[in-house]
Structures are given as structure tokens and as C-alpha cells.
């Protein structure tokens, strides 16, 4: 993924399932190469999301979201193990889903990505080396859990993509054809989360506002913990205030690199 600055960038996939992305070095660390497939994405119009992933932001022990192979959306999670600043180099291990509650409606296709729940590092896996920020999307708020695990769950104020017409029968091979709803998490308790649907503001690539019903009330939905796999991936967001003379106050600019590419077609 090229950064969001300057001219329109490219959205590249990165992950550990595609053999042409990595070559194993003599030190047991897999080097990450650039994949051949890239998607053009527009620049954000107000907020520089690259500032949130500048070199000095990386710390050992952090969990970061990285862009996936399947559709170049930020679905992969990596635990930072080593950071070198001059020259820049990050070494990480992948986090994989370890357990889901027994009542969770699970994917039929075991290859489908999971973005919520408990995650742990893969056993006996090589560290992966990155020499630029391009494959990283954003820093995650991951809660440490027992046995070197982390818990990742949508939080109030975060923006997530939801699978539109969600069904557990979605297959990994369908990901490049999936459509999504964009929603902000507005409430959370032990059993369910409430989300407010967002829609794009006319005239802007990645500025969104609350979607309303005919009576003017916001369009919301309750998602039970059993249906937590409705959540596809988190989208970095920036709340607008005085931009355009305040006409966009309360709207959210979303990171274009984390939006499905069909939004820009």
C-alpha cells in the first residue's frame, strides 16, 4: 500500500498465505516483498492518515492491522517483536484466531478471516520483516489476555465495515466480490453491540455521515455477540470539525485505503 500523501496511491495486499509475498532468509525471518497486484485509491481530503503510522509510532508489544492478500483490506494482525528506526525495520509475528465463544455463528469456510475475538501468536512461525510502513494500516486497541493472547473487539467510537447480507456461508473465494455496510459502534455491553450506519457525503470520496430513516432518526442495528463475525475489519476514522467552514462538522473522514475498492469505481 502506498501512503495517502501526494498523488493517488496504490493499495497492495500483504499477508502470509501468498507464497510470492515472502522469501525465507538464512536468519529464519521471512522478508516481505511487494505483491504484483495493486489498486488505485484516492487521497484523503482532510486528514493525513499516514501520520498515525509514522516510524516513531511503532513500539515492541503493539498489535497492528495489516492489509490482506485476499482483497487488500486490513484484516491481518501482527504483534511487533522488534523495531529498528535507522534504517526502518519492523519484525512481527502473526496473530491468529484462537477461540470463539461456543454460541458464535461460525464460518463454514475455515479459511475465512476472523477480525474479532481472542488471538494468539502462531506456534513455531518465522518472524516477518518489513522495511516500510506501506503494509500497515493502523495500531489496534488490543487487550492482553492470559496465555500470551490478545482480545480484539469493536469499541464505542470505532468505525467498522460489516458484511452486507451477512451469512456464515460466505467463502474466502468470495471476498473480492463482497459488499459492505459502514457503521460506527455507538453502544456496547456484555451481550451485544449497537452500530449506527454511515453513508458517504455527496461530493467527497471518503467523508461519511450518519444514515437516517424517513422520520429523521438514525439507522442503527444491534449485533449480538453470537454474530460477531458480521464485523469485517476496522476502518481508521477522523472526526471533522471546522473543515469547509464547519459544514462537515460531526462527519467522519475514513481512511480510503481501508475502504472496499468498489467505493471508488
Segments making up each domain of the chain, as ranges: 9-264
- Quote the mean pLDDT of the chain: 86
* pTM reported for the whole predicted model: 0.85
More confident residue, 148 or 169: 169
Residue 213 has pLDDT above 60, yes or no: yes
Give the pLDDT confidence of 189-209 residue by residue, as tens digits: 988 999 999 999 999 999 999
Give the pLDDT confidence of 43-92 residue by residue, as tens digits: 999 999 999 999 999 999 999 999 998 889 999 999 999 999 989 999 99
More confident residue, 178 or 99: 178
More confident residue, 29 or 102: 102
pLDDT value for 35: 35
pLDDT value for 215: 93
Give the pLDDT confidence of 29-42 residue by residue, as tens digits: 444 433 334 567 88
For the chain, give the percent of residues with pLDDT over 70. Answer: 85
3-state secondary structure the chain: CCCCCCCCEEEECCCCCCHHHEEECCCCCEEECCCCCEEEECCCCCCCHHHHHCHHHCCCCCEEEEECCCCCCEEEEEEEEEEEECCEEEEEEEEEEEECCCCCCCCCCCCCCCCCEEEEECCCCCCEEECCCCCEEEECCCEEECCCEEEECCCCCCEEEEECCCCCCCCHHHHHHCCEEEEEEEEECCCEEEEEEEEECCCCCCEEEECECCCCCECEEEEEHHHHHHEEEEECEEECCCHHHHCCCCCEEECHHHCCHHHHC
Amino acid at each position: 500500500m502506498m501512503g495517502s500523501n501526494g498523488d493517488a496511491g496504490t493499495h497492495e495486499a500483504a499477508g502470509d498465505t501468498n507464497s510470492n509475498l515472502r522469501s525465507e532468509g538464512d536468519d529464519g525471518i521471512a522478508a516481505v516483498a511487494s505483491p504484483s497486484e495493486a489498486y488505485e485509491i484516492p487521497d484523503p481530503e482532510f486528514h493525513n492518515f499516514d501520520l498515525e503510522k509514522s516510524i516513531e509510532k511503532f513500539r515492541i508489544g503493539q498489535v497492528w492491522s495489516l492489509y490482506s492478500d485476499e482483497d487488500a483490506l486490513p484484516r491481518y494482525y501482527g504483534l511487533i517483536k522488534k523495531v529498528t528506526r535507522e534504517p526502518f525495520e519492523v519484525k512481527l509475528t502473526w496473530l491468529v484466531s484462537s477461540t470463539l465463544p461456543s454460541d458464535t455463528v461460525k464460518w463454514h469456510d475455515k479459511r475465512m478471516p476472523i477480525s474479532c475475538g481472542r488471538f494468539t501468536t502462531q506456534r513455531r512461525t518465522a518472524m516477518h520483516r518489513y522495511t516500510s510502513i506501506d503494509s500497515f494500516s493502523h495500531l489496534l486497541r488490543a487487550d492482553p489476555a492470559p496465555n500470551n493472547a490478545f482480545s480484539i473487539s469493536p469499541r464505542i467510537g470505532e468505525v467498522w465495515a460489516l458484511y452486507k447480507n451477512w451469512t456464515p456461508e460466505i467463502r474466502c473465494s468470495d471476498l473480492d466480490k463482497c459488499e459492505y455496510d459502514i457503521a460506527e459502534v455507538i453502544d456496547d455491553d456484555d451481550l451485544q453491540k449497537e452500530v449506527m450506519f454511515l453513508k458517504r457525503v455527496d461530493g467527497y470520496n471518503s467523508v461519511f455521515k450518519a444514515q437516517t430513516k424517513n422520520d429523521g432518526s438514525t439507522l442503527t442495528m444491534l449485533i449480538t455477540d453470537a454474530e460477531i463475525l458480521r464485523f469485517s475489519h476496522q476502518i481508521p476514522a477522523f472526526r471533522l470539525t471546522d473543515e469547509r467552514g464547519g459544514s462537515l462538522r460531526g462527519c467522519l473522514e475514513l481512511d480510503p485505503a481501508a475502504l472496499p475498492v468498489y467505493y471508488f469505481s
